[in-house]
Amino acid sequence: MINVTVFRKNNQISGFELSGHADSGPYGYDLVCAGVSAVSFGAVNAVMEMTGVELVIDQGAEGGYLQVIIPATITTEQMGTVQLLFEGMIISLEAIVREYHQFIEIHNNEGGTPNATS
């Protein structure tokens, strides 16, 4: 099961964490894992490319883990773009949940952002 936790502070995304494996198919043919990876890495890459924001990223060496934290030191303009892109990511992940809910769950945490583990 892939667990997605979206961290929010003051109604804004402050970070997110993905953990686990979908195991919806054999290695190399797991469509849920591929979809979640494409959506999340695409959003992270878009944020960094379009805003220049240096996100705090921690990845598991064997896959199955990604934590992204938005730094508090970004401008209001950058934050607006970051929020738009990550909200789009969440909408895409929710579409995956609707079709494959047995393999992925999304949780919201209104308590802010976890400490970076790296």
Question: CA 49, CA 109: separation in Å to the nearest integer?
Answer: 27
33 a catalytic residue: yes
For residues 111 and 7, the answer to whether their CB atoms sit within 8 Å is: yes
Q: Is 76 helix (H, G, I), strand (E, B) or coil?
A: helix
Q: For 1-118, where are the E strands, in sequence order?
A: 2-9, 12-19, 56-59, 65-69, 104-109
List, in order, residues 6 or more apart from 103 with CB less than 8 Å away: 1, 2, 22, 23, 24, 32
Kindly name the residue from 5, 21, 46, 79 that is annotated as catalytic.
Answer: 21
Kindly name the residue from 22, 33, 66, 93 that is annotated as catalytic.
Answer: 33
21 a catalytic residue: yes
Catalytic residues: 21, 33
